[in-house]
Chains A and B, each alone.
Chain A
Amino acid sequence: MELTELHQIAEHERAQQKPVRIRCCAAAGCVSSGSLAVKQAFDRAIAEQGLSDRVQACSVGCLRLCCAGPLVQMDPSLELYEEVTPEQVPSLVASLLPAAAPPLSAPGASPGIPSAKRGDPQAPFFTRQMPIVLENSGIIEPERIESYIAAGGYRALHHAIREMSPAQVVECITRSGLRGRGGGGYPTGVKWSLVAKMPGQRKFIVCNADEGDPGAFMDRSVLESDPHRVLEGMAIAACAVGATQGYIYVRGEYPLAIHRLEVAIKQAKKLGLLGAGIFDSPLNFRIDLRIGAGAFVCGEETALIESIEGRRGMPQVRPPYPAEKGLWDCPTLINNVETFANIAPIINKGAEWFAGIGTAKSKGTKVFALAGKIRHTGLVEVPMGMTLNAIVEELGGGAPNGGTIKAVQTGGPSGGCIPASLLDTPVDYESLQALGSIMGSGGMIVMDQTTNMVEVAKFFMEFCMDESCGKCIPCRAGTVQMYRLLSRIVAGDASPAEVKQLEMLCDMVKHTSLCGLGQSAPNPVLSTLRYFRPEYDRALKNGRIALPLR
């Protein structure tokens, strides 16, 4: 494979494209509300109305406004349609005809079907986003590598291999200021240079796609919408640190993401973009999938390594860190899906471009999955430093049904609840940490005034209790006791002494647990105690919680 071939594929692909493309969302959210039938209906209607030469329907990735699926967007007009049903399709296609015939007379259209609901592509939900990771999402066809190449794909890999030295690649990522998107926020360039500096011929790249936080679906969407982007990021990393084998550890609950990755790996291999001698260089890099079996803790890097090696997924004491001793004791670079998805744009557009986005210490954008009591449920990608308020009120449209937002939960079971009064905080690693929460992988659960915060804490504690691997005592037995205390508080059976005991346990579990799961398990409790103490106290005083329960 040469650069010219890449250009040829891109040109051929563009030449094949029809003037009008109907983009049908084929990510898991819309698929679950019936988007595959909508796509088939479009194919049928286009043929029946004789428009095959000018119009084509494409299965694209996530169009982001997941609550309004199945979503359909017209290209180039960018008209957006929400909750599209197959019955509405014939008239939609007919409306594309130049001298728009009366829609209902279109062949295949049935009378009495209300026309498709128009969405607003100029809503702040779309216009205030800054897509870098998601720039191809909803535009390209994730199951066709040509579509990715036509959008400029794999050019960064070529550039990194042929025009840059491995050290320059690492240096570029370092200068960009990119930090790990899995939650910790460790500088990606530093991690890469650690692995690059390690001696030895055998090194590994691992993509952590074991997204398990309740309410988080960013990584799933990226994998379903633009799988090649992740493969390209991993291959660039391999070239930078000198690895020959990569693994994507993806959770088994994501069958569509797994399927698209399988297709993507196969296509990339076929074109020589993965495998031996990539772009006629000495770089050999292959990628294999490893499917998680449903354990949240396997998202913890040392447990993930154990699991890939075929053992019980249990966290190990660090140091040694995986960069030094990872898979089969070899230096291993582990990054999250979104981190890898940021690599190609950084190589293409330069470190300075990336470093110019975001805040002083948090560069670039972050993808959040908006969920809970919010009007626009879906995916948003915003520059770091945007306030939480802007995200939930302007992009998210606030609470539905005239409700008011009470708190926003970030970081999943390891994060915390930020009260409405503090939502003016800019989104960056340090600010969220100062509020007792974390950036996390990007789940953002919005709660309204009907939400009982003690119950929220109880929910997350139950999650951690069920997902504890059982290796270390504080997490295994401590979460059980904390869950019990929270249940008693919610039931109105607890005494003030028991709240004190809960705080004592939180402190101990946080400081003595072996891995991040245990160390952060108390966070939802600590943050609700910090901001919503009266709800705990009320539960004690009244015997029963006075707030309306969901």
Chain B
Amino acid sequence: MPVKTLTIDGQLITSPRDQTVLDAARGHGIKIPTLCHLDGVSEVGACRLCLVEIAGSNKLVPSCLTQVAEGMNVTTNSPRLQDYRKMIVELLFAERNHVCSVCVANGHCELQELAVAVGMDHVRFEYQFPQLPVDVSHDQFGLDHNRCVMCTRCVRVCDEIEGAHTWDVSGRGHNARVITDLNQPWGDAESCTSCGKCVQACPTGALFRQGATVAEMQKDKEKLGSLMQAREKKQWVV
């Protein structure tokens, strides 16, 4: 059987059997918030925002990494899930220095959108205010650790689509940072092809085009989509 029938938020839907719950839900207009998910690159299940409840199991599962199954009954937006999501977004805001009003990505930022989506009007946790550097050694782009949410979309897009693997992660826990070429300044990273896919993949103002000022850094996620379409379906869109 090429399709599976399942229920998501009370809505009976059919979906191709190799689809994830996230794709099936989105295909039917059911919104599940995500941050580390990016169409076209592998899933890591790290942000925990897309967790959903499955009837018959008391474990929450990441919808981005859960395949649809026949008769599955999924709840994507219970009060409990809403609570958890709000807390997760608050934790992100408290973790680094996300100052929307002076950010290059203001108005085009997925973190900012998430705050709106989960109904966050203030942060209950203590802001950590870490002292973090900004790397503008690259001649076209910049990296602002203050805005980074460690989604690793840059790491995956660079490795899996561009094939350069300039980006990786160093350190652990709250000291984890994205790095370029064994923790060299981005401008010295010889593996970087300056393709800019990481900048487009970045959900916040952490990666930006130099010269962009407040609210000017608009990401073009469709660029990655058309690349994937060209690669996988051999359809070149001009």
Contacts and interface: CB of A to CB of B under 8 A. Distances in A.
Question: Do A and B interact directly, with beta carbons closer than 8 Å?
Answer: yes
Interface of A: 295, 297, 312, 316-317, 465-474, 476-481, 484, 501, 504-505, 508, 511-514
B222 interface: no
Contacts of A480: 95, 128, 173-174
A467 B87 contact: no
A317 B45 contact: yes
Contact of A505 (B65, B87, B176): B87
Given A470-B175, A501-B125, 19 more contacts: A297-B172, A316-B45, A317-B44, A469-B176, A470-B169, A470-B176, A471-B46, A472-B47, A473-B48, A476-B150, A476-B176, A480-B173, A481-B91, A481-B94, A481-B125, A504-B87, A511-B60, A511-B84, A514-B48
A254 B194 CA distance: 44
A467 B47 contact: no
B233 interface: no
B88 A473 contact: yes
Interface in B114-149: 124-126, 128, 149
B47 A470 contact: no
Interface in B140-194: 149-150, 168-169, 171-176
B168 A474 contact: no
B182 to A, nearest CB: 13
A472 B94 CA distance: 15
B68 interface: no
Nearest to A473: B88
A316 B173 CA distance: 16
A458 B178 CA distance: 29
B104 interface: no
Contact of B84 (A465, A481, A484, A508): A508
A465 B174 contact: yes
Interface residues of B, number: 32
Contacts of B83: 508
Nearest to A472: B46
Most buried by B among A316, A480, A484, A512: A512
B205 interface: no
Interface string B58-88: 0010100100000000000000000110011
A476 B88 contact: no
27 contacts: A297-B172, A316-B45, A317-B44, A317-B62, A465-B173, A466-B173, A467-B172, A469-B173, A470-B150, A470-B174, A471-B176, A472-B46, A473-B46, A473-B149, A474-B48, A476-B95, A476-B174, A477-B174, A479-B173, A480-B173, A481-B94, A508-B84, A511-B60, A512-B48, A512-B51, A513-B48, A514-B45
Interface in B191-224: none
A472 B87 contact: no
A470 B87 contact: no
B105 to A, nearest CB: 19
B32 to A, nearest CB: 14
A283 to B, nearest CB: 36
B103 interface: no
A263 to B, nearest CB: 33
A477 B125 CA distance: 10
B92 interface: yes
Most buried by A among B47, B51, B149, B172: B172
Nearest to A482: B125
Contact of A470 (B48, B51, B92, B171): B171
Nearest to B43: A317
A243 B175 CA distance: 39
A468 B65 contact: no
A504 B87 CA distance: 9
B92 A473 contact: yes
A420 B102 CA distance: 55
A470 B173 contact: yes
A508 B125 CA distance: 14
Contacts of B175: 470
Contacts of A471: 44, 46, 150, 176
A470 B170 CA distance: 10
B166 to A, nearest CB: 15
A513 B175 CA distance: 18
B95 A472 contact: no
Contacts of A477: 91-92, 94-95, 174
Nearest to B128: A480
Contacts of B44: 317, 471
Contacts of B60: 511-512
Contact of A467 (B84, B171, B173): B173
A473 B126 contact: no
A119 to B, nearest CB: 43
A481 B88 CA distance: 12
Contacts of A473: 46-48, 88, 91-92, 149-150
A491 to B, nearest CB: 14
B15 to A, nearest CB: 19
Nearest to B87: A508
Contacts of B84: 508, 511-512
B172 A295 contact: yes
A387 B46 CA distance: 40
Contacts of A513: 48
A511 to B, nearest CB: 6
